[in-house]
Amino acid sequence: MTTISNNDTLFARAQKTTPGGVNSPVRAFRSVGGTPRFITRADGPYFWDADDKRYIDYIGSWGPAIVGHAHPQVVKAVQEAATRGLSFGAPTEGEVLMAEEICRLVPSIEQVRLVSSGTEATMSALRLARGATGRDKIVKFEGCYHGHADSLLVKAGSGLLTFGNPTSAGVPEDFVKHTLVLDYNNVQQLEDAFANMGGEIACVIVEPVAGNMNLIKASPEFLQAMRRLCTAHGAILIFDEVMCGFRVALGGAQQVYGIVPDLTALGKVIGGGLPVAAFGGSAKLMSHMAPLGAVYQAGTLSGNPVAVAAGMTTLKLIQEDGFYERLGASARRLADGLTAAAKEAGVVFCADAIGGMFGLYFSATPPNNYAEMMAGDRERFNVFFHHMLDEGVYFAPAAYEAGFVSAQHDDAVIDATIEAARRVFKKLAA
Ligand code: PMP
């Protein structure tokens, strides 16, 4: 048997049997260059790679690890659930408890269906919106990612109000001709779209806090206009809170902005690191789902008992007193500390945070939409990324991604990160 010694060896082997060596593209370091780190274990705010180098982890599995890695209570719940059996293909009490908890924490959700990935959640929410309205057209925003369902892998067409182009090979033009792609935070474009074709729009889907074009906050006016226009034209408003749900606040972005969507997609945090996602809304809307209604959706592992045990324990832990205050303070301390360190070094940089999410920008001000985000200095980010990696700090390996803190990122961890960044910004300025 070959002994695996380091990241390079593993990456070379992985590329022989797995496309690009990874099971999800961003992990391949394509954007930043270099060898991806193969992770062997994690604890609290840290993980270790195959060379046993320790990193402060700021991706947290891209969101789920909100209570920190390998939290003893989550691990115990998973172990206990596993001893009772891994999957039954029949309902369990855990699913009832989880549905009740989600409905209690997110008041716009009266009924919820559990699935296994965010992609399934948004794809099913879209089908429900189309099934319930009897309309085909959907509106999404440039730079928002909603998983890899065909109708959502679309970028803007050549002209405003023309339908989109596929962003992936293998997505038929026919599928995306129903998807209209507008600019994030642009109220006028939304008004125009509804004025032109309001009666044909099944739904608007949005990340109310965008985390897939770095971190970009929606303006309140943008989300308010969306709510108003959807209601006026009989379209369904879908908040994709797969990333920002239970992340920017206990009640998600809809609580922060005080806006009630018709449907919400959830994922990441609600599985606590195992595959659980969900979509839900009013009981009336959800009654269109099979077996009650005509909109079909199903899953062999939906509501998996081990995954639900991890998710439920995580949902309990995030309800501890002061959890979001502490989480938000950590992300803010990081954003402000990094901004100050860059300023000292004279590097054009800023950072922002909301709840336990943050964005790092190599631009003078935070971007408001996809085009502004793309105008940032990506080369500089890549150099920063690699120096930070050498310092033992793992940020998302692409300039287009948001970052995440966990409840285990205490002041000492954050301050160590800022100290490392201070050294790195000096190198960048030199
Ligand atoms: N929606 C959003 C907002 C996401 O951030 C993601 C994943 N990053 C998804 C949907 C898709 O989730 P999954 O990767 O679990 O399919």
Known catalytic residues?
145, 240, 268
Please determine, for residue 380, whether its predicted confidence score (pLDDT) is greater than 50: yes
Q: Percent helix, strand, coil in the chain (nearest 5)? A: 45, 20, 40
Residue 33: the pLDDT is 95
User: pLDDT for 314-354, tens place per residue?
Assistant: 999 999 999 999 999 999 999 999 999 999 999 999 999 99
Lining residues, ligand 1, CB within 6 Å? 62, 117-119, 122, 145-147, 207, 211-212, 240, 242-243, 267, 277
Please determine, for residue 371, whether its predicted confidence score (pLDDT) is greater than 90: yes
Residue 143: the pLDDT is 95
Kindly give the distance from the C-alpha atom of residue 276 to the centroid of ligand 1, in angstroms, as a whole number: 11
Q: Looking at residues 210-223, what average pLDDT do you find?
A: 97
Residue 294: the pLDDT is 98
pTM of the model: 0.97
What is the band of 175 on the pLDDT scale with cuts at 50, 70, 90?
confident
**Euclidean distance between CA atoms 193 and 162, whole angstroms:** 10
Integer CA distances (angstroms), 121 to 27, 63, 247, 278, in order: 22, 16, 17, 5
Residue 158: the pLDDT is 66
Q: Looking at residues 96-117, what average pLDDT do you find?
A: 98
Residue 157: the pLDDT is 73
In whole numbers, what is the pLDDT of the chain averaged over residues?
96
Percent of the chain with pLDDT over 90: 95
Q: Who contacts 102 (Cβ-Cβ below 8 Å, separation ≥6)?
A: 109, 112, 266, 270, 278, 280, 315
**Euclidean distance between CA atoms 80 and 259, whole angstroms:** 38
Please determine, for residue 4, whether its predicted confidence score (pLDDT) is greater than 60: no
Please determine, for residue 77, whether its predicted confidence score (pLDDT) is greater than 80: yes
Full DSSP string of 24-56: SGGGG-TTT-SPPPPEEEEEBTEEEETT--EEE
Instruction: Decide the pairing of beta strands 137-141 and 201-206.
Output: parallel
Percent of the chain with pLDDT over 70: 98
Which of 268, 302, 401 is the pocket-test mutation for ligand 1 (most atoms within 8 Å of CB)?
268
Q: Whose CA is nearest to atom 13 of ligand 1?
A: 118
Q: Which of 281, 248, 322, 289 is nearest to 102 (CA)?
A: 281
What is the band of 208 on the pLDDT scale with cuts at 50, 70, 90?
very high
Kindly give the distance from the C-alpha atom of residue 212 to the centroid of ligand 1, in angstroms, as a whole number: 9
Structural domains of the chain, with CATH: 7-66+322-429 (3.90.1150.10), 72-317 (3.40.640.10)
Extract the tokens encoding 105: 């924490």
Residue 3: the pLDDT is 46
Residue 2: the pLDDT is 47
Kindly give the distance from the C-alpha atom of residue 44 to the centroid of ligand 1, in angstroms, as a whole number: 23
Which of 117, 124, 242, 268 is the pocket-test mutation for ligand 1 (most atoms within 8 Å of CB)?
242
User: pLDDT for 242-289, tens place per residue?
Assistant: 999 999 999 999 999 999 999 999 999 999 999 999 999 999 999 999
Residue 163: the pLDDT is 75
Residues 217 and 182: beta-carbon distance below 8 Å? no
**Ligand 1 closest atom vs CA 275:** 15
Please determine, for residue 5, whether its predicted confidence score (pLDDT) is greater than 90: no
Q: Looking at residues 64-89, what average pLDDT do you find?
A: 98
Residue 171: the pLDDT is 92
The dihedrals phi and psi of 172, each to the nearest 5 degrees, come to -65, 140
Kindly give the distance from the C-alpha atom of residue 419 to the centroid of ligand 1, in angstroms, as a whole number: 32
Please determine, for residue 200, whether its predicted confidence score (pLDDT) is greater than 90: yes
Residue 161: the pLDDT is 61
